[in-house]
Amino acid sequence: MSPEEPIVHIVDDDPRVREAIGELLSAHGIRSSSHASAREYLAAPRSDAPACLILDVSLPDINGLDLQNQLTGPGQPPIVFITGHGDIPSSVRAIKGGAVDFLTKPFSDAALLSAVEAAIAQDCEMRAQQAEIGVLQERYDQLTPRERQVLPLVVSGLLNKQAAAELRISEIMLQVHRRNVMQKMRADSLADLVRMAERLAIPVTHSRRPGRS
């Protein structure tokens, strides 16, 4: 994964607007690609670079807000809406839908650029997180089924003895498994392992209750 230059996708049915935004971004050294409709954007090949989507609300094929609804999920770039006549319901909807900003035409360069930068930063952050989870997932995939059983018990904070009893194995064996888990997950400490488990959304199945006899 070589870090690529960020890219801004511009979707607006007006060629003049696309052109102008592209020019402005270019003047600020940001590369861009422009699309006349939602369909054109969806059909275009996507690079792996951090990205941002400048989306016009009124598009010829589908409404930009509806497109926003479709573009949910990981890997989708953050959206900066632009509109010819902004109304409150649309902007509220856009922001609620996770848009970075909602700009009414004509907009200032500062507003657009800051929105774009914020969006790209957000995308980078998201990507980094995704990448980390990917690495962790890869490590987790190396675990044996038994080790996968051990992991939640350990991160739940059970004592070795308790975890061993839970799995009906000897404490020694549990310690071996636990060591393997730590090694394979490359966890420096139990706290590290707990954090990783959190990232991987491994549920904490047990909680150690002090009062339990």
Partner 1 sequence: MTMSTALTDGAVHDAISAAKLVENLLGLAWASDPDGECTYVTPGQGESMLSALRELGIAQASPAVQRTIHPADLPKAVAAWRSSLAAGSHFDVECRISQAEGCYTRVRCSAQPSYDDEGKITGWYGTFIRGPGSAQSPDKEEAGGARDLQELVDTVPALIWCTTPDGTPSYINKRLADTVGVSLGDLIGSSNSKSFADIHMEDVPMVERALTHSFETGTSFVATYRQLRSDGSYRWTEGRAEPLRDDKGVITQWYGVCVDVHDRVIAQEALQEQERHLRRLVDAMPSLTWCLSPDGQPSYYSKQLARWLGLSVEELDGRGVSRLQLAETLLVHPEDGRAAHEALAQCVRTGEPFNRRYRVRRHDGQFRWMDVRAQALRDERGQIVQWYGVLIDIEDLMRAQEGLRHRERELSQLIDMVPSHIWRLSAVGEPMFFNKRMVDFLGWNVEDREEGSGLLSLLKAIHPEDVKAFETSLGQSIENGDSFAMRYRLRRADGEYRWMSGRAEPVRDDRGHVVQWFGLCHDIDDQMRLYTEVADREAKIRRLVDSDIIGIVIWDLDGTLIDANDAFLSMIQYDRADVANGLNWLNITPPEWQQVHALEEAEELAATGKMEAREKEYFRKDGSRVPVLIGAACFEGDSRQGLAYILDLTERKRAEAALRDRERELSQLVDMVPIPLWRLGSRGEPIFFNKRMADFIGHDPNNSPSSDGLNFVELVAARTHPEDVELVTEAFHNALLTGEPLSVSYRLKGPAGAYRWVLSNSEPLRDHSGQIVGWYGFSHDVDDQLRVEEALRERERFLWQVVETLPAMIDCAAPDGEPIYRSQQLREFLGYELGALDETGRSRLAGTLDAGVHPDDLAGVREDYAHSLSTGEPYARRHRLRRHDGEYRWVETRAAPMRDLSGAIIQWNVICLDIDREVKAQEELRLAQERLAQATQAASLAELSASIAHEINQPLAAVVTNSHACQRWLKMHPPNLERAQRTVDRIVRDANAAADVIRRIRGLFRKSDEPRSLLSFEEIVSDTRRVLADLARSARVDVSLSLSGDIGHLLFDGVQTQQILLNLMRNAVEAMDGQSAERRLAVKATRSGEVAHVEVSDTGPGIINPENIFDAFFTTKRTGMGMGLAISRSMVESLGGKIWFRNNDDRGATFAFTLPIGSEANA
Judged by the rule CB under 8 A, the positions of this chain that interact with partner 1 are: 14, 16-17, 19-21, 23-24, 26-28, 58, 82, 84-85, 87, 105-109, 112
CA distance 37 to 20: 17
Nearest distance in Å: CB 119, partner 1: 17
Nearest distance in Å: CB 109, partner 1: 3
CA distance 73 to 77: 10
Nearer to partner 1 (CB atom), residue 24 or residue 49: 24
Nearer to partner 1 (CB atom), residue 75 or residue 84: 84
Structure tokens belonging to residue 56? 């016009």
Nearest distance in Å: CB 174, partner 1: 58
Nearest distance in Å: CB 20, partner 1: 4
Nearer to partner 1 (CB atom), residue 35 or residue 127: 35
Nearer to partner 1 (CB atom), residue 24 or residue 200: 24
Phi/psi region, residue 165 (left: phi>0; alpha: psi -120 to 50; beta: rest), is alpha
Tell me if 114 sits within 8 A of 160, measured CB to CB.
no
Nearest distance in Å: CB 96, partner 1: 20
Nearer to partner 1 (CB atom), residue 21 or residue 187: 21
Phi/psi region, residue 74 (left: phi>0; alpha: psi -120 to 50; beta: rest), is beta
